[in-house]
Structure 1
Amino acid sequence: MACRLSELVLECRDPAALARFWCEVLDYVVLDEDHGALEIGPRSGFGGPQPTIILSPHPDPEPAKPRLHLDVNPTDRDQDAELERLLALGARPADVGQTGDEPWHVLADPEGNEFCLLRRRLDPLPVDAAP
């Protein structure tokens, strides 16, 4: 099986302003707010066929550093087994200043692009719902 793309995370100066913009563009709604970060997504919420977008506050996003990263969730195994699978595929642990207490793993793909493996397991998309 595979992971599912569940969230896009975008660092930005003004999460509320970007939330208003992207909610209008995509017909999304604000789903959650946590420490200044806003999660927006379809009215059906997290875990559906469309990913949510987390607008993460950052005082000065670095132009040379990608401001977007992917979050993925396992679909057919627990997080530890999926982490093992991703590492075997060529992912590597990445240090972005995490404490070690986070419920996710920060990884980098073979070219160094960061992404996070989240804990929550999602059902695979039905074949007819996949793009």
Structure 2
Amino acid sequence: MAFDFQVTVDSAEPHKLADWWAEALGWHVEPSDEAFIRRMVAEGQAREEDTTTYHGVLVWRTGAAIRHPDGGGSSPPRRILFQGVPEAKTVKNRVHLDVFVGKENLEKELDRLLANGATLKYRGQQGPYTWATVTDPEGNEFCLQ
């Protein structure tokens, strides 16, 4: 049996990082369901402290997600969850995303991401394959290929 999965990224500021990655990948931030959040608080299944306001919208404090633009048709959708954690990132990621932009777009996309807060770590090559390893604004590594 094969299973589906989502990728979860620990982060200091999940809503800001979700915005950054949505822009970086051309994906969409999942909209908040304010009525659901209010109902969970009213029923005692969540606390007011579990919520916050981000861009004027009531959201869960410790999580934000993005979806692929055509993810509405898949179940579950292609999704990345950004989960707030109390500790800062201290070591290199053991797992990372490879973002396929195409060899012809690599430099343009690298420049765009660097202008939006990414940091270039190094460039790599193996045979005909080249990539740039960069970090997002919170230091999470990923490769552009």
* Fold equivalence (TM over 0.5): no
The higher-RCO structure (CA 8 Å, 6+ apart) is 1
TM-score (norm 1): 0.40
Structure with the greater alpha carbon radius of gyration = 2
More helix by share: 2
TM-score (norm 2): 0.37
